[in-house]
Structure 1
């Protein structure tokens, strides 16, 4: 277990703003503010793209609007700093278009204190596979490990201390995890790791889970941590950003040796959101820690939003070590599983808000039409709760169709991966994937390579530098040249245009 007096891993954020929000958030017109916030989010998502939005903005919440001040909150200082640096000005512009003279303030929300009038209701009951439940755990990571400052229930406090790093949410256990065809393998692997007898050695080491947002990765990771901590194992659960802060603070305090010894003396290391691990020195320390633990037969569990091969920001040796374990993808939730999650979530909301019920036909409608992850489902139910509580309207199918109309998906586009493009293009042109990634410049290789780069730019959200790294470490100018060349040829060469269209259809199938 970490010792806060040895290494200050977790800087605390001043929660004064959260306490003051109790008066600001009680402003009238909450329904209008919530609608304006949804419009701002939709516009921001459209402007910056799904990948950037899903990585940084799902955990931002509207806490209140008062006297022209819009108060937004995020769970960690790292996220606050990043959004302030890159998008705070744009958020202010979007809000000013919605509310005259609006000013945006971004704060870090407390793990244990929320404004009584905050606009985002939270359920106290278990929320399986629930993105907000996962966020609650991340919010807890803002606090340190000193139990004297914790106001969590005894069960949560105990799990937090045993687990060492970021505090655990006691609701995220194997018992509350809803199973379906999309997540059954991941659940079985996680349970196998958790139940491994002491001294029997690591199982599936490392276990690497990847999935899009809201599909239950954090739920499984915290379930493993809680299971192990309850059996006396030395378990550390950390988000990647907490690992970075811990390492940087250890360097500042000249206690990096203690940091390394504490991490490498545990039984199980669990890292969440690995895609956020940045910085050469931090990655090197992570790699050393990973190697030391695995060589000693200790268990490592990792989660990220993409497979190891697509973590372009990580060094090749780290990606290779991660890929050597068991890599399991959690697919989008099928309709049956979405229905089960919604039913559990409605029960939880009903316990918090007596009288709140959702008819079966409305639950079926949301499960069928409103997204394929827990966060989408949670957002749809919160819409219904807001309309029901704020307008006193009964929840009907007609009301639900109006409340969640912007969440209804007409068709879910397939998430295209660069690896899929490379495989299909190589097969079509009868070359190997290694040929495309090589430095060869023969005509039979250059054409497939440029076509693949063009498809990667047009069918994925990857930037030019990212595509270049995936194509053998090439410069972004090389990718730009290939894209422009294929664009020009497609306009003049009908045969090539047909080839490209055929390849697009194959990639999207």
Structure 2
């Protein structure tokens, strides 16, 4: 990874083509790079006189060199005597290792805005700046990997920074259900309710996973009412709008639509290019224009996949010392697409996710239990394995204590018929698919 200092050394090298060595030594000998991000390069010189000369005479040359390195226009901030300390203090994040650890990079500043997500971004920012003043609840929906979770974390970090006294609660839909089950088993219902209903800001990711779960929906209904009536901010994300959650209680669906439902679409070409540039600049690495274009043209639907491709390319350069050219990118993108096409979840993962959805043990699904839920879960697991893997009917039967292939065939036929006649079953399978695929997200 190239540090700001490494980037500054490259900038000086590029400026040598237009300046004498004496000029560079005179005005830049004690200049140091302070920071670099997707929007700004910060330089420091201990002399205010030199700072003023750099700003008046050499700023365009620095910006030109940065553009050559990153194929992007960056602002340049030059600090003088006494300004470095103030800049460092103003840009130092609050020390709180316990607040959503590992999510520090998910900020509004690092979210690339384009036509496909600008409405969701603007609404999320408005909520973060003035919690519970408008758009309550805010409901952000869209396919996996488009930035919904990024916005949720950005809201959380912004509010935590500006209102440290606020209690911000983040939870995923399936974790909410698991937490409730554990609380019921251990007799901690009051503790569970206080945990969520005392929040100043309540953020739930993938709320679609509580649909169809009676106890979870009941708790969510009362949690929502308590928070909303107390004037607390509520934000949900989901892979579909509330009206398409067929197993969701009507009273919850209505409440989810009280505020502002807003969607995120797959990024357009310009946004994809901006995402790639942003990622490269943060790593201090130059990607040639043809490389940017090739990635943007071929990785089109998912921000995670775009970032995964860029990470792989940058790893080549950082670890192997290889220059990034179009041939390298073509090989990388082809490998990414090949990996995606050949992705096959294991039967164990599929059975595990079906079991979790129905709150059953995997042994119960594999075994001989004949309760209604167990039998249906087993049939759905067989259907999913047949659809998502290359296993034969006989091989699938072996995963379920050696059942005959005709039993497997009957199970698959029954699930296919149920999906045509019962929309809720089709939605259940969609939810299980999402959980299975989550095991393999970048």
TM-score using structure 1 length? 0.46
**Given that residues 159 and 229 in structure 1 are in contact (C-alpha distance below 8 angstroms), is that contact kept between their aligned partners in structure 2?**
no
Other-structure match for 2:183: 250
Find the partner of 1:382 among 311, 324, 327: 311
CA shift for structure 1 position 168: 6.2
**Given that residues 145 and 303 in structure 2 are in contact (C-alpha distance below 8 angstroms), is that contact kept between their aligned partners in structure 1?**
yes
Other-structure match for 2:127: 193
**Given that residues 274 and 302 in structure 1 are in contact (C-alpha distance below 8 angstroms), is that contact kept between their aligned partners in structure 2?**
yes
CA shift for structure 1 position 299: 1.5
Q: How does 1:214-253 map to 2 (within 5 A)?
A: 214-230=145-161, 231=163, 232-253=165-186
Give the direction of change, closer, same or farther, for the CA distance of 1:323–1:363 in structure 2 (3 Å limit): same
For the residues of structure 2 that align with 1:228 and 1:160, how far apart are their CA atoms? 15
Give the direction of change, closer, same or farther, for the CA distance of 1:394–1:167 in structure 2 (3 Å limit): closer
CA shift for structure 1 position 219: 1.1
Other-structure match for 1:208: 139
Give the direction of change, closer, same or farther, for the CA distance of 1:383–1:158 in structure 2 (3 Å limit): closer
Matched, 1:366 2:299: no
Other-structure match for 1:158: 96
For the residues of structure 2 that align with 1:312 and 1:466, how far apart are their CA atoms? 13
For the residues of structure 1 that align with 2:261 and 2:217, how far apart are their CA atoms? 20
Give the direction of change, closer, same or farther, for the CA distance of 1:264–1:466 in structure 2 (3 Å limit): farther
TM-score using structure 2 length? 0.53
CA shift for structure 1 position 272: 0.6
Give the direction of change, closer, same or farther, for the CA distance of 1:382–1:289 in structure 2 (3 Å limit): same
For the residues of structure 1 that align with 2:97 and 2:170, how far apart are their CA atoms? 10
1:167-194 CA distance string (max 9 Å, x none):
4612111222211111111111111111
**Given that residues 126 and 172 in structure 1 are in contact (C-alpha distance below 8 angstroms), is that contact kept between their aligned partners in structure 2?**
no
Matched, 1:181 2:112: no
Q: How does 1:81-480 map to 2 (within 5 A)?
A: 158=96, 160-161=98-99, 167=101, 169-196=103-130, 201-230=132-161, 231=163, 232-277=165-210, 279-350=213-284, 357-388=286-317, 393-405=322-334, 407=336, 465=418, 468-470=421-423
For the residues of structure 2 that align with 1:224 and 1:280, how far apart are their CA atoms? 29
**Given that residues 156 and 168 in structure 1 are in contact (C-alpha distance below 8 angstroms), is that contact kept between their aligned partners in structure 2?**
no
1:323-370 CA distance string (max 9 Å, x none):
2321100111111111111011112334xxxxx542221011101221
- Of structures 1 and 2, the larger Rg is shown by 2
CA shift for structure 1 position 204: 1.5
Cα RMSD, aligned residues only: 3.1
Q: Which runs of 5+ in 2 are unaligned?
A: 1-35, 40-91, 339-414, 427-442
For the residues of structure 2 that align with 1:168 and 1:344, how far apart are their CA atoms? 19
For the residues of structure 1 that align with 2:417 and 2:230, how far apart are their CA atoms? 40
Other-structure match for 2:23: none
Give the direction of change, closer, same or farther, for the CA distance of 1:396–1:170 in structure 2 (3 Å limit): same
**Given that residues 210 and 305 in structure 1 are in contact (C-alpha distance below 8 angstroms), is that contact kept between their aligned partners in structure 2?**
yes
Give the direction of change, closer, same or farther, for the CA distance of 1:261–1:392 in structure 2 (3 Å limit): closer
**Given that residues 168 and 222 in structure 1 are in contact (C-alpha distance below 8 angstroms), is that contact kept between their aligned partners in structure 2?**
no
**Given that residues 338 and 372 in structure 1 are in contact (C-alpha distance below 8 angstroms), is that contact kept between their aligned partners in structure 2?**
no
**Given that residues 208 and 301 in structure 1 are in contact (C-alpha distance below 8 angstroms), is that contact kept between their aligned partners in structure 2?**
yes
1:30-74 CA distance string (max 9 Å, x none):
xxxxxxxxxxxxxxxxxxxxxxxxxxxxxxxxxxxxxxxxxxxxx
Q: How does 1:490-509 map to 2 (within 5 A)?
A: none
**Given that residues 370 and 407 in structure 1 are in contact (C-alpha distance below 8 angstroms), is that contact kept between their aligned partners in structure 2?**
no
Aligned to 2:227, the other structure's residue is in SS state helix
Q: Which runs of 5+ in 1 are unaligned?
A: 1-124, 129-153, 351-355, 410-461, 477-509
Give the direction of change, closer, same or farther, for the CA distance of 1:178–1:296 in structure 2 (3 Å limit): same
1:247-274 CA distance string (max 9 Å, x none):
2222222111121123112211000112
Other-structure match for 1:145: none
Give the direction of change, closer, same or farther, for the CA distance of 1:383–1:261 in structure 2 (3 Å limit): closer
For the residues of structure 1 that align with 2:117 and 2:151, how far apart are their CA atoms? 10
Aligned to 2:140, the other structure's residue is in SS state strand
